[in-house]
Amino acid sequence: MPTGTVQLHRIVRTNPEKIYRAFLNADAMAKWIPPYGFTCKVHHMDARVGGSFRMTFENFSTGTGLSFGGEYLDLVPDELIRYTDKFDDPNLPGDIQVTVSIKKVLCGSEVTIVQEGLPEVIPTEMCYLGWQESLAQLCHLVEPNIAG
């Protein structure tokens, strides 16, 4: 039964456009979204309202994978991304809803993430850790301003 909710907040030293693009570009997602110790393969990404995505996280140590997919519900360029996640594993039931809000602030962008409906068997503290690692990797991708 889905019950868990996590909320995260981070200030990122870049503009909202780069953050928005990092969430909707398959190559970017594969680079920053998997937590430490995991790789990510994006099988499909149709980043439009009503579009869908599928990806697999693979534990690099064990080689075991966890596949999931979802649908894009709301997309407001440089401001809002709302989508669902659903695991392929029947032991992880329910639809998870993720809302990513992006707001320009003096020193970059404020990013707020709310993930609701996590399956009961997934400890919310593990989701917090995973998102913190993912957001650190997001910063490594979007904060550098490389000309050329």
pLDDT one-digit tens code per residue, 7-39: 999 999 999 999 999 999 999 999 999 999 999
Tell me what percent of the residues of the chain surpass a pLDDT of 70.
99
Task: Report, as an integer, the average pLDDT of 126-138.
Answer: 96
* Choice between 1 and 136, residue whose per-residue pLDDT is larger: 136
Specify the DSSP element, H or E, that contains 129. helix 124-142
Instruction: Report the half-sphere exposure of 23 (CA within 13 A, side-chain side).
Output: 24
| pLDDT at position 70 | 98
> Residue 140 pLDDT > 90, yes or no?
yes
| pLDDT at position 34 | 97
> What DSSP designation does 103 have?
E
Nearest to 94 by CA among 113, 121, 75: 121
Nearest to 98 by CA among 74, 124, 134: 74
> Residue 1 pLDDT > 80, yes or no?
no
Instruction: Give CA separation, 84 vs 12, 102, 126, 139, in Å.
Output: 24, 18, 19, 23
> Residue 108 pLDDT > 90, yes or no?
yes
